[in-house]
Amino acid sequence: MMMRKLLPSWLTAYQRPWLAGDLTAGMVVTVMLIPQSLAYAMLAGLPPAVGLYASVLPLFAYALFGSSMALAVGPVAVASLMTASVLAPIALPGSPEYLAMAILLALLSGVILFIAGLLRLGFLAYFLSHPVISGFISGSAVLITVGQLKSLLGLPLPSGSILTTLSALPQQLPALNATTATLGLSALVFLWFARRYLGPLLKRVGVPVNIADLATKLAPMLAVIASTAIVAHYGLDQSAGVSIVGEVPAGLPALALPSLDKSALSLLSLLLVPAALISLVGFVESVSVAQSLALKRGQRIDPNRELRGIGAANIASALSGGYPVTGGFARSVVNFSAGAQTPAAGIVSAVMMAIVIAGFTDSFHYLPHTVLAATIIVAVTGLIDIDTLIDAWRYDKADATSLLLTFFGVILLGVEEGILLGVVLSLAVLVWRSSHPHIAVVGRVPGSEHFRNVERHQVETLPGLIALRIDESLYFANAQVLEARIEGLVQAHPDTRCILLILSAVNQLDSTALGILTELEQSLASRNISLQFSEIKGPVLDRLRPTPLGERMKDRIYLSTHQAFEAHADKRDERNKTDSTALA
Amino acid sequence: MMMRKLLPSWLTAYQRPWLAGDLTAGMVVTVMLIPQSLAYAMLAGLPPAVGLYASVLPLFAYALFGSSMALAVGPVAVASLMTASVLAPIALPGSPEYLAMAILLALLSGVILFIAGLLRLGFLAYFLSHPVISGFISGSAVLITVGQLKSLLGLPLPSGSILTTLSALPQQLPALNATTATLGLSALVFLWFARRYLGPLLKRVGVPVNIADLATKLAPMLAVIASTAIVAHYGLDQSAGVSIVGEVPAGLPALALPSLDKSALSLLSLLLVPAALISLVGFVESVSVAQSLALKRGQRIDPNRELRGIGAANIASALSGGYPVTGGFARSVVNFSAGAQTPAAGIVSAVMMAIVIAGFTDSFHYLPHTVLAATIIVAVTGLIDIDTLIDAWRYDKADATSLLLTFFGVILLGVEEGILLGVVLSLAVLVWRSSHPHIAVVGRVPGSEHFRNVERHQVETLPGLIALRIDESLYFANAQVLEARIEGLVQAHPDTRCILLILSAVNQLDSTALGILTELEQSLASRNISLQFSEIKGPVLDRLRPTPLGERMKDRIYLSTHQAFEAHADKRDERNKTDSTALA
């Protein structure tokens, strides 16, 4: 019984009819995963075997802890780019230190994500708006593409900023390795053709839609096999200097904690912020893929379980000599459409990858780097997302601007700087929107108890009374704006005797807002203006009542705006009566 | 005419009756400003003269560009502490490089603030909640107090973290300079006594309240004069090793741009983030003081003009050899209560400070550092704010927690780290609150067109229809929460045929939220559930209409919730009729 509780619910409730879908999906994903894991490890500056290692245990770990039924976890393009961009300045790509740091990065990311999941910080995914994510991913895709030109063409291009690389290109072009470039560009054209035309072609000749779609996903594996065979057969690595993967050690790596000597401990603090950024981006990417797939089947994603799932996958990756992983977009979509019903599909992939690592690593010896570069380029150009930009531009210029700024931030400043810029932009937009609460001056619809905006409707107001409806919760980001608005109204209407705040939409009132209202009430009182509230929600009133402001205002809090209007009218009548008595 | 337009409105509309108040306030503030400017310069690790320089031109500049009628600009404790904490690791306090960097810091802060003002970024002040500011200032006050023990007791305490200093204290105590400690502690007791008891005492013997209050503000000046006289008369600097201010160069410094050679340009990038932090803190401090004083007279503060005012003051400070300045709390309150009507009071102070610099710097030669330390300690302990903590704790535990975290962040991690932590905490709380929008399932109040929360009222619902009222704008921080809520409801009620979203409180719908609603509509449609909207606000509907979602939903957007309910009931009746016809 205890055991069953520890197991994920998909496993304890597993139904036999699901098995066919899970098996098919697991196998199809494996065929995509083999070339991608080798390619993305190369993109991250790591030996290709590391990509394979990162494709076994993490899939098991996610199956145990994650919440998505369709997410395919493993090495992905953006996290690989971020790994390279973090590590390249502090270690030599390919060196043992570089690998140790990549493992440490995965461990740190995993621990950060897992703890965040335990602390229920899933809401942190909302730190990034969709336009910012879109700009970030498109920018990363451009960076990756330019970075791969070197391997694709067999050219000694300088790494560094995208401008450095591109400006060196024309000069270096004559030095290109013709055999490498031919192999790479052929693969590129083939892969591009397969993605663009193979599916429709197969459908036209009568192949069922699903199978036609899946067949196109096998193209990268085909390119890998064909190019490896050609290089091996003609010995192009020796005769034409084509750069190849070389020896890939066979066998699964032993489970081990990354060794932490003193210098590694000081590394920890150096890698902490980059690890947090990789975690954030990886998590946001995963959750959005998982959520949009779940939606198609009416399933749900729990962001906090998702944090623990991706966290566990990264810890598992570090323990087995891998590097940061997350849920990838393309493979998850394929997994889903190939019929994956549960994370068992991921376990099928993991087992198949383990078999490849145990027995077939020799096959990758002659795999040319240029074909891996072609695989990467075709995969990431699919991530460049113009539609979101066009939609955002039509719908909301502020969103389109933050998309463009993030895109150019990534390209011109770098990956980490770009994502930080994106976070800051998202939050600045959030603060800016929150700091512009909608506040309407309202009046009574004649003959009713309804109150509407005076600027949009024919309504009646009472002399000396200004009624304001606040259409948002009040907190530090906007309370001062309300205060300024009220001061402005009082200055414009010197005969004001009463300010009525209609708090029907105020769900929260934080202590900054409480402080500002307290100050405002005193300031108004000293000028003989009475502050009044109406339609306060229950929970807000419960907290307000025992405060000094609540004490002072207890006779000026009305249940409905109508009552407040009536009370004001009565008082005015009384005053008028007193005045006329005095006159009489 | 042109000239008049360039001048601030308080100057062109100046009225003679204001002059008395401005003159008195200007003089009283000067008497406070002299000891404080010397002391705060010492706190910043700068020669005392720099504090005087920072008290002349900045006051003119603020008078021209600022918007507060009562803010007293000049050196303040927190900005001085931040200056020291930024510069101490990169230059030797007292060295010419240190001074040059302090000037550069003022210039950078000024430019950042002024540009932010031109870009109308005043809303950035809202990045910090009141509890975070309170925790930050209290923490800084503790740091400052501990840091001054060295000067107060004439002890060679190690600087560094507060724990280092405090743990070294017992060991070092025997090495204390008895004369210095006696002078300093006497001053401390005197100042503390003056602040606590002098006012009430004077009032009891019949001195008018205002004058009694002001007299207590003169205590620091009195302590400075008396201690200087004692040290000079007995030659305590020579005979007892009392550390004194020494020579203060006479004359105003020549106006000059800080010299920018190549190394200074590389410094720029090093100092940019610290300058931005000092700017943010200084601006937030200024604005909150200015706003609470303005409120007492029913005046208004324009945050964007305030940015330009404080920015101009810092640029002026840099040009005249000063360091970062801002509006101080204590001096502004004194300025206000001494009757300042306009920034002319500041100009009076500036002129008097200029006279002091021109002719009286000799008088400060024998001023002992220990008395300045006593002045600082008494000033900053007044800033430690327990009330806000208690209030916040009672009212809102989340706010109290961010206050405490910021406080301990400042004390244990450092000033800049503390304020960064505070910004992050403020924003995390904002995102967290935004990511928990209030969403109520509503039903119809029987026999009416009113709709209320089903959990709080006796209302009627229609089978197959779930009506949700969203009490907040929808954007990236909360749209996914709405989606998850709807999915949860649909799973709990499998007979749902229609989800009605009542958007009466939705003032904004950003493109992330639009994307999520679009996806949700398709997902629901594929399950034969119809998504409907009611009570969309005009501006939101105008933008929604041309989007794909708007197109798809155009027949399912109802003006009122009542109409949507009627339509649903009609359709059900029709369905039932068809069913019974089929049966018949």
- pLDDT tens per residue, range B524-575: 998 999 999 998 888 889 889 999 999 999 899 998 899 999 898 888 777 6
pLDDT for A50 equals 94
Place of tokens 């011109």: A412
Interface test with B, best of A401, A504, A510 (most B CBs within 10 A): A510
SS3 content of chain B, % helix, strand, coil (to 5): 65, 5, 25
A269-274 mean pLDDT: 84
Phi, psi (5° rounding) for residue A464? 85, -10
Pairing of strands A498-502, A73-74: unpaired
Chain A: give the shortest CA distance to residue B30, in Å: 29
Q: Note whether B415 and B429 are within 8 A (CB).
A: no
Distance (Å) from the alpha carbon of A303 to chain B's nearest alpha carbon:
10
State the average pLDDT for chain B.
87
Measuring CA to CA, which residue among A218, A227, A410, A309 is closest to residue A8? A309
Would the CB atoms of A291 and B480 count as touching at under 8 Å? yes
B298 contacts A431? CB cut-off 8 A: no
Contacts 24+ apart (CB under 8 A), A549-554: A549/A514, A549/A517, A549/A518, A549/A521, A552/A521, A553/A521
- In the numeric block, which tokens belong to residue B453? 């929360």
Q: Distance between CA B98 and CA A503 in Å, rounded?
A: 53
Residues in B closer than 8 angstroms to A527, CB to CB, are: 298
Chain B hits for A551, Cβ within 8 Å: none
Contact between A219 and A35 under an 8 Å Cβ cutoff? The reply is no
* Burial class of residue A543 in the structure, from the number of CB atoms within 10 Å of its CB (0-12 exposed, 13-18 middle, 19+ buried): middle
Rounded to an integer, what distance in angstroms lies between the CA atom of residue A544 and that of residue A17? 57
User: Does residue B507 contact residue A471 with C-beta atoms inside 8 Å?
Assistant: yes
| CB-CB contact of A337 with A210 (8 Å) | yes
pLDDT for res A557: 93
Helices B77-87 and B262-296 pack at an angle, to 10 degrees, of 160
Looking at the predicted structure, is the pLDDT value of residue A584 above 50?
no
Instruction: Render pLDDT for B179-194 as a digit per residue (tens, 0 to 9).
Output: 999 999 999 999 999 8
Determine the residue of chain A that is closest to B387 in CA distance: A515
How, if at all, do strands B498-502 and B530-534 pair?
parallel
Q: Which residues of A touch B477 (CB under 8 A)?
A: 126, 430
Q: What is the predicted ipTM?
A: 0.75
Q: Do B399 and A472 touch (CB under 8 A)?
A: no
DSSP sequence for B44-113: TTS-HHHHHHTTTHHHHHHHHH---SS--EE--HHHHHHHHHHHTTTS-TTSHHHHHHHHHHHHHHHHHH
CA A335, A340, A343 angle in degrees (round to 5)?
95
Q: Which residues contact B85 (CB under 8 A, 6 or more apart)?
A: B414, B415, B416
Sign (positive or negative) of CA dihedral B332, B333, B339, B341: positive
What is the crossing angle of helices B18-43 and B209-217, to 10°? 30
Name chain B contacts of A510, Cβ cutoff 8 Å: 129, 396, 399, 429, 433
Q: What is the pLDDT of residue B260?
A: 58
Torsion B180-B181-B186-B188 (CA) sign: positive
Which of A298, A435, A547 lies nearest to residue B123, judging by beta carbons?
A435
**Cβ separation A295–B547 shorter than 8 A:** no
Sign, CA torsion A433/A436/A439/A440 = negative
Suggest the residue from A301, A401, A476, A483 to mutate for an interface test with chain B (most B CBs closer than 10 A). A476
Nearest Cβ partner of B476 from A129, A435, A484? A129
**pLDDT tens track for A140-179:** 999 889 989 989 998 887 777 788 888 888 888 888 899 9
Q: Which of A295, A433, A476 sits opposite B130 (nearest CB)?
A: A476
A-B C-beta contacts closer than 8 Å: 175
User: How far apart are alpha carbons A75 and A50 in whole angstroms?
Assistant: 10
Q: What is the pLDDT of residue B1?
A: 47
Chain B hits for A529, Cβ within 8 Å: none
The two three-digit tokens of residue A342, written as one number: 């549960």
Which residue from B123, B437, B520 is facing A431, i.e. has the nearest CB? B123
CB contact under 8 A, A456 and B523: no
The CA-atom distances, in angstroms, between B59 and each of A355, A450, B345 are 76, 52, 9
What pLDDT, in 10s, does the model give residues A198-229?
Answer: 888 888 888 887 777 777 778 888 999 999 99
Subunit contact B127:A433, Cβ cutoff 8 A: no
What is the pLDDT, as a whole number, of residue A257?
Answer: 63
Whether B508 sits inside 8 A of A433 (CB atoms) is yes
Q: What pLDDT sits at residue B580?
A: 53
Q: Which residues of A touch B505 (CB under 8 A)?
A: 471-472, 505
Residue listed under structure tokens 């009756």? B17
Chain B residues close to A480, C-beta within 8 Å: 125-126, 291, 303
CA distance to partner chain A, nearest, from residue B479 (Å): 9
Residue with more model confidence, A233 or A156: A233
Lowest mean pLDDT, pick from A465-474, A512-521, A552-561, B426-435? B426-435
Task: Report the percentage of chain B scoring pLDDT > 90.
Answer: 38
Distances (CA, A) of A220 to A182, A262, A470, B244: 17, 43, 57, 79
For B487, the closest of A127, A292, A298 (CB atoms) is A298
Q: Search chain A and give the residue with CA nearest B301.
A: A484
Using one digit for the tens of pLDDT, what is the confidence trace for B448-500?
878 888 888 888 899 999 999 988 888 888 888 898 899 889 989 999 999 99
Query: b or e along A281-320 (b: 16 or more beta carbons within 10 Å of the residue's beta carbon)?
Result: bbbbbbbbbbbbbbbeeebbbbbbbbbbbbbbbbbbbbbb
Q: Which residues contact A489 (CB under 8 A, 6 or more apart)?
A: A441, A466, A468, A496, A499
Set of chain A residues whose Cβ sits within 8 Å of the Cβ of B122:
none
Strand partners, A441: A468
Q: Which residue of B has its CA nearest to A478?
A: B126
pLDDT in tens, B347-356: 999 999 999 9
pLDDT at A2: 54
Residue B579 CB neighbour total at 10 angstroms: 10
Q: What is the pLDDT of residues B127-181, one digit of tens each?
A: 788 888 889 989 999 988 998 998 999 888 777 778 888 888 888 888 889 999 9
Spatial separation of the C-alpha atoms in residues B168 and B351, rounded to whole Å: 44
User: How far apart are the CA of B182 and the nearest CA of chain A, in angstroms?
Assistant: 42
Determine, for residues B487 and A395 on separate chains, whether the beta-carbon distance falls below 8 Å: no
What whole-number distance in Å separates Cα of residue A560 and Cα of residue A533? 9
Q: Which residues of B touch A523 (CB under 8 A)?
A: 295-296, 298
Question: Who contacts A244 (Cβ-Cβ below 8 Å, separation ≥6)?
Answer: A231, A237, A365, A366, A367, A368, A369
Say whether B475 and A526 touch across the interface (CB within 8 A).
no
Subunit contact A480:B396, Cβ cutoff 8 A: no
Averaged confidence pLDDT in chain A: 87
- pLDDT tens for residues A283-309? 988 888 888 788 777 777 888 999 999
Q: Which residues of B73-101 are buried (b: 16+ CB within 10 A; e: fewer)?
A: bbbbbbbbbbbbbbbeeebebeeeebbbb
Q: Please indicate whether, in this complex, the C-beta atoms of B296 and A526 are within 8 angstroms of each other.
A: yes
Could B298 and A480 be called an inter-chain contact, meaning their C-beta atoms sit closer than 8 Å?
no
Burial of A571 (0-12, 13-18, 19+ CB in 10 A): middle
Tell me whether residues A426 and B476 touch, CB distance under 8 A: yes
Q: Decide if A68 contacts A327 (C-beta within 8 A).
A: yes
> A471 to chain B, minimum CA–CA distance in Å?
6
Taking the CA atoms of B203, B206, B211 and B214 in sequence, report the sign of the dihedral they define: negative
Q: Where are the alpha helices (DSSP H) in A365-414?
A: 369-381, 386-395, 397-413
Cα separation, B577 vs B461, whole angstroms? 21
